[in-house]
Amino acid sequence: MDLGIAGRVALVSGATSGLGRAVAVALAAEGARVAICGRDEHRLAAAAAPVTDVAAAYRAGDAPERGCVRADRVDLRDHDAVRGWIDAVATDLGGPDIVVSNAGGPPAGPVTAFDLAAYRDAVELCLLAHIGFVQAALPRMRAAGWGRILLVASETVRQPRPQYGLSNTVRPGLVGYAKSLVPEIAPDGVTINVLAPGYHRTPALTGQFDDPDAGLARIAAGIPVGRIGDPDDFAATAAFLASERAGFITGSTVLVDGGATQGW
């Protein structure tokens, strides 16, 4: 299926590894011009390599504008830096047409394990950072009459999970924000959806275990499809929702969890 996004400009935050990097690669494979950002400059350079490799196929023939990649060090919580990044990308590549807002998660633990400062930090990282990114990108998307916004959250927006008190509390706000935006931006051709991933084989997950294979096997036993997700599974879903073909999907929360929440 031709997703219809070749030449579109995509911004992907939190793309230094895991799900964010997989989404950047998937969009580049569709011919999008991709700009990625992250907080760690060294990891950012490594993350840009596979995106650049995939994009290289579009740097030839009659479509030299496709396959462009840039990488910038940006902390999504720094709203001035985010606005500066969007301006720089718009000057360099155009757009933005696609915004994939991805950020790290808060610490794990029960709701009573954290003080008020920890909740404030979680609100900044898991809610306000995403809102600031969207608000900064929206004017250009609305003016262009086309846009796709994806907010990467967690399956906890659908069902709270034990030991994820901060995520359970803060992330559902993204769903309310997205749904509230729909009637304002849909007439301008801009969609917004929330992606709710479950367990995927990322460095953030495998790093939690002394024996990753044994730890992931225990998790997989509780997932109906019988396995941990691959970042490419998630990225394929994101690429479709970012596509021309998904123009009638907005205000949705899409679970990418192998059916795990069905058992809760």
Q: What percent of the chain has pLDDT over 70?
A: 95
- Who wins on pLDDT, 209 or 63? 209
pLDDT in tens, 90-143: 999 999 999 999 998 999 999 999 999 999 999 999 999 999 999 999 999 999
Gap between the Cα atoms of 28 and 51, Å rounded: 6
Is residue 171 scored above 60 in pLDDT? yes
Q: Which residues does 141 contact at the CB level (< 8 Å), separation at least 6?
A: 96, 97, 99, 147, 149, 185, 188, 190
- Choose among 68, 43, 264, 79: nearest CA to 161: 264
Structure tokens at 130: 């995403």
- Choose among 173, 151, 197: nearest CA to 11: 151
The single-letter DSSP state of residue 127 is I
Task: Give the type of residue at 202.
Answer: T
- As a whole number, the mean pLDDT across the chain is 92
The single-letter DSSP state of residue 244 is G
At 204 the pLDDT is: 81
Mean pLDDT value across residues 7-15 = 96
At 57 the pLDDT is: 67
Is residue 37 scored above 90 in pLDDT? yes
At 245 the pLDDT is: 96
At 251 the pLDDT is: 98
Give the count of beta carbons closer than 10 Å to the beta carbon of residue 97.
Answer: 23
Q: What three-state secondary structure class fits 52?
A: helix
For 100, the enclosing helix (H) or strand (E) is: strand 98-101
Rg (CA), the chain: 18
Is residue 246 scored above 60 in pLDDT? yes
pLDDT in tens, 178-215: 999 999 999 999 999 999 999 898 888 877 788 888 88
pLDDT category of residue 65 using cuts at 50, 70 and 90:
low
> Terminal CA-to-CA distance of the chain, rounded, Å?
34
pLDDT category of residue 63 using cuts at 50, 70 and 90:
low
Mean pLDDT value across residues 79-87 = 97
The single-letter DSSP state of residue 258 is T
pLDDT category of residue 62 using cuts at 50, 70 and 90:
very low
Gap between the Cα atoms of 202 and 111, Å rounded: 25
pLDDT category of residue 61 using cuts at 50, 70 and 90:
very low
Task: Give the type of residue at 18.
Answer: G
By the 8 A CB rule, do 188 and 138 touch? no
Classify residue 36 as exposed, middle or buried by CB count within 10 Å of its CB (0-12, 13-18, 19+): buried
